[in-house]
Structure 1
Amino acid sequence: MSQSDWFQAYKSAAQFLIAGPCSAETFEQVLETGLALRQQSVDFFRAGVWKPRTRPGGFEGVGEVALPWLAEVKKQTGLKIAIEVASPAHVEAAEQFDIDMYWIGARTTANPFAVQELANALQGSNKIVLLKNPVNPDLSLWIGGYERLQNAAIQSLGVIHRGFSTYPKSKYRNSPEWQIAIDFRRELPDVPMICDPSHMAGKREYLAELTDIALNLHYDGFMIESHPNPDAAWSDAAQQLTPAALEAFMRNRKKAVAETTNTEYLEAIRLWRSQIDVTDALLLELLGKRMAISEKIGILKKNYGISVLQNDRWMKVLEHMQSQGQQNNLSDSFIRIFFKAIHEESIRKQVNAKSEG
């Protein structure tokens, strides 16, 4: 039996969906939300019981007292229940209330010791366990965390992509870094991957664009936060939707198919891709020429005793390129990432040229 077999029961025309409030605040709040979501195509009801926060002083969840509330939600709605666990003590407490799914949060995933402790506590478990990506953009750490759970013979596993904390910040709360998720799927193609656009977005107005990208990347489902009165939520108010808004939101999302046999499409995409291939080859040729110039600059700097890094020059280049990028309909974030990579490679070339020249 594969550890991804559990997901076969949820593969359908409808979108696999985990939904519910960021935090369980009161019994009335979780029950009201659960009753509203029961009318929709929600597969699991989520609610934060323990809330690990970046800094002290924020709302950190009501704790164990919420577990019987969720058990009652399950009883009255028939919805399966999902919560976050961050320690063996959380697992032990949750086991008393027939919780169906556990997820391991991004801050916990970043700590291999913590993941291993949870793997030990969940050894051989028949619960569904989902591992969020680590808070920092580290593919190996994410895969390593999954492997720890896999080695613990947990019967049902999957992962959640919720975005990464990066510097500088973008408009999103957590940068999606889609390529890391794509690379994870390339390494472990059979692992169900759920997208959490709520934690990526940080603001509900960005949910649609992120969810639509995830649909086009063929994610297996979504975890989206929903609260009966989002503006009054005790945590993450800006990123939650009311149950009614969530229903409309999901109704407007359309799955994209992976392949087609339509000959008109196949011929058109072949022509466009051939143009991309030629353009990419030209880009690489230009980058090679640019780096050859960087090597010459490195030798010149060595001859005159000049340091490689010229920060004022770099900031002027970046500012100019972002302005040029806007004229070519390229986002500031793309230009910043692209030219940062070019700048780092240029520095490496200049340093090598200075040491070898």
Structure 2
Amino acid sequence: MIVVMQAGSEEQLIDAVLERLEEHNLRGHLVRGEERTVIGVVGAAIPPTLKEELAHFTGVQETLRITQPYKLVSRELRTQDTVVDVRGIKVGAGNCVVIAGPCSVESEEQIMKTAHAVREAGATMLRGGAFKPRSSPYTFRGMGETGLQLLAQAREETGLPIVTEVMTPNDVDLVTRYADVLQIGARNMQNYQLLEEVGRTGMPVLLKRGLSATIEEWLLSAEYVAAQGNPNVILCERGIRTFETATRNTLDLNAVALAKRRTHLPVLVDPSHGTGKWYLVPNLTLAGIAAGADGIIIEVHPDPDRARSDGAQSLSCENFAALMPKIVAVVNAVGRKM
């Protein structure tokens, strides 16, 4: 349910509505606009009489039912796009960000070389995995805290904010000491304990869509983070598993356009995992931006042939530098800004 307050309603009137919600074991999430405040009502069971109760409160203009199962991330609650601030970089609302870096941190030389190269080419954030979920238990699974320390060192040298994955609730405290954006990988999209834990941090969260997740399931996972009082959620379409075997996954650009209609959250595209083939990444990058994505997250490695993970889908530093002017051209063509 949405409670729309009248323009200029005083805080005591808003507080009165929040107190009544608490009496029903409900929570009210405030969305403050330029002219009026909207209260999103969430809880296990909203009494059928609540609409009539609140209609009598001074300052309440109207109450509306939210039809989507996800409430806080729905455009029915908030029509204005959410902008997530990452160390001064704005994600959403017409801004296009480029997040680039290796699948996993492998050494100091590798991450520093990559960080400086992507920064020089125009990237706005650095990605890199310190903890890696792998299909096989015998493959490289990351450097752990040492990898996080190297990412922090790269941020110190380049100024690029860090995007890195957190895999378990127990790791959240550790990763938050180093990261600027907490990434939830596709395999963990429905790890609800992890979603609630990162939600409680208040930090920006990049939520990747699951391999076989519907758009509704994806947005409901975002709702888990937002329900903890954390509005700083960035969605990421990274390809879904289909019958096609020619590519690693099928990058679902339908989901980008539809998500932008159904949610106020920013949406990114990951063409590296979406295709699994480096030579397809440039075209799908440009297509993602044209489809309305608020940014791109790309895997870049100084020597992809020797990468310990995902080398086949990683751009070289030179190929990434060649792609950036094309990204800028498409961003400008669709009326957005870097």
Question: TM exceeds 0.5?
Answer: yes
Equivalence map 1:253-268=2 (5 Å): 253=327, 254-255=329-330, 257=333
User: Structure 1 40/47 Cα, relative in aligned 2: closer, same or farther at 3 Å?
Assistant: same
2:223 paired with 1:147: yes
> Is 1:77 paired with 2:77?
no
- Equivalent residue of 1:159, what SS? strand
1:107 Cα deviation after fit = 0.7
- Structural mapping, 1:28-39, within 5 Å: 28-39=109-120
Structure 1 position 202 matched with structure 2 position 283: no
Contact 1:20 1:225 in 2 (8 A): yes
Given residue 6 of structure 1, which amino acid in structure 2 is its aligned partner?
Answer: V
What secondary structure is seen at the aligned counterpart in 2 of 1:39? helix
**Cα separation, 2, equivalents of 1:107 and 1:195:** 17
| Deviation for aligned residue 1:133 | 0.5
Alignment of 1:103 with 2:183, yes or no, is yes
1:87 matched to which residue of 2?
168
Alpha-carbon distance in structure 2 between the residues aligned to 1:11 and 1:146: 16
Whether contact under 8 Å (1:49, 1:61) holds in the other structure is yes
Structure 1 residue 100, shift from structure 2 partner: 0.5
Secondary structure, aligned partner of 1:50: coil
The partner residue of 1:187 within 262, 266, 290 is: 262
Instruction: Tell me the distance in 1 between the aligned counterparts of 2:296 and 2:199.
Output: 26
> How far off its partner does 1:48 sit?
0.9
CA–CA separation in structure 2 for the residues paired with 1:252 and 1:181: 20
Q: Partners of 1:192 and 1:225 in 2: how far apart?
A: 20
**Percent of residue pairs identical:** 30
Contact kept in structure 2, 1:21 and 1:225, CA below 8 Å: yes
Note if contact 1:103-1:131 (Cα within 8 Å) is conserved in structure 2: yes
The answer as to whether partners of 1:84 and 1:104 remain within 8 angstroms in 2 is yes
CA distance in 2, matches of 1:10, 1:175: 25
Aligned-partner Cα distance in 2 for 1:170–1:214? 21
d(CA) in 2 for partners of 1:195 and 1:255?
15
5+ long unaligned stretches in structure 1: 260-357
Alignment of 1:99-248 (within 5 A): 99-109=179-189, 111=190, 114=191, 116-166=192-242, 168-188=243-263, 190-248=264-322
**CA deviation digits over 1:26-81, x for unaligned, max 9?**
12211111122221321111001111112332222122221111111111111111
Structure 2, unaligned stretches of length 5 or more? 1-30, 33-72, 74-81
Q: Is the 8 A contact 1:30 1:73 kept in 2?
A: yes
Q: Which one-letter code corresponds to 2:133 in the other structure?
A: P
Larger radius of gyration: 1
Equivalent residue of 1:82, what SS? strand
Residue 15 of structure 1 deviates from its aligned partner by 3.9
Asked whether the 8 Å contact 1:125–1:153 carries over to 2, the reply is no
Q: Which moved more, 1:191-200 or 1:87-96?
A: 87-96
Q: Quick one: structure 1 residues 142 and 45, their matched pair in 2 at CA, closer, same or farther if it must change by over 3 Å?
A: same
Instruction: Report the aligned-residue RMSD.
Output: 2.3
Question: Taking structure 1 as the reference length, what is the TM-score of the superposition?
Answer: 0.65
- Mapped partners of 1:258, 1:233: distance in 2: 35
SS at match of 1:135: coil
Would you say the 8 A contact 1:137–1:180 is kept in 2?
no
C-alpha deviation, 1:159, in angstroms: 0.4
Which amino acid is 2:150 matched to? W
Question: Which residue matches 1:60?
Answer: 141
Greater fraction helix: 1
**Residue aligned with 2:201, SS:** coil
- The question of whether the paired residues in 1 share the 8 Å contact of 2:278 and 2:315 is answered with yes
Q: Is the 8 A contact 2:126 2:160 kept in 1?
A: yes
Give how far 1:11 is off.
6.3
How far does residue 18 in structure 1 lie from its aligned partner after superposition?
Answer: 0.5
Change (3 A) 1:146 1:230: same
| Aligned partner of residue 234 in structure 2, secondary structure | strand
Q: TM-score, normalised by structure 2?
A: 0.69
Where does residue 345 of structure 1 map in the other structure?
A: none
Assess if the C-alpha contact under 8 Å between 2:100 and 2:126 holds in 1.
yes
Structure number having the greater strand percentage: 2
User: How many angstroms apart in 2 are the aligned matches of 1:155 and 1:10?
Assistant: 13
**Equivalent-residue separation in structure 1 for 2:250 and 2:91 (angstroms):** 28
Q: 1:43 to 1:54 in 2, by over 3 A?
A: same
Which of 1 and 2 has higher RCO (CA within 8 Å, sep 6+)?
A: 2
- CA distance in 1 between counterparts of 2:334 and 2:84 reads 22
Deviations 1:88-146 (A, max 9, x none): 1221111233x10111011111x3xx2x2123322443421011011114222201101
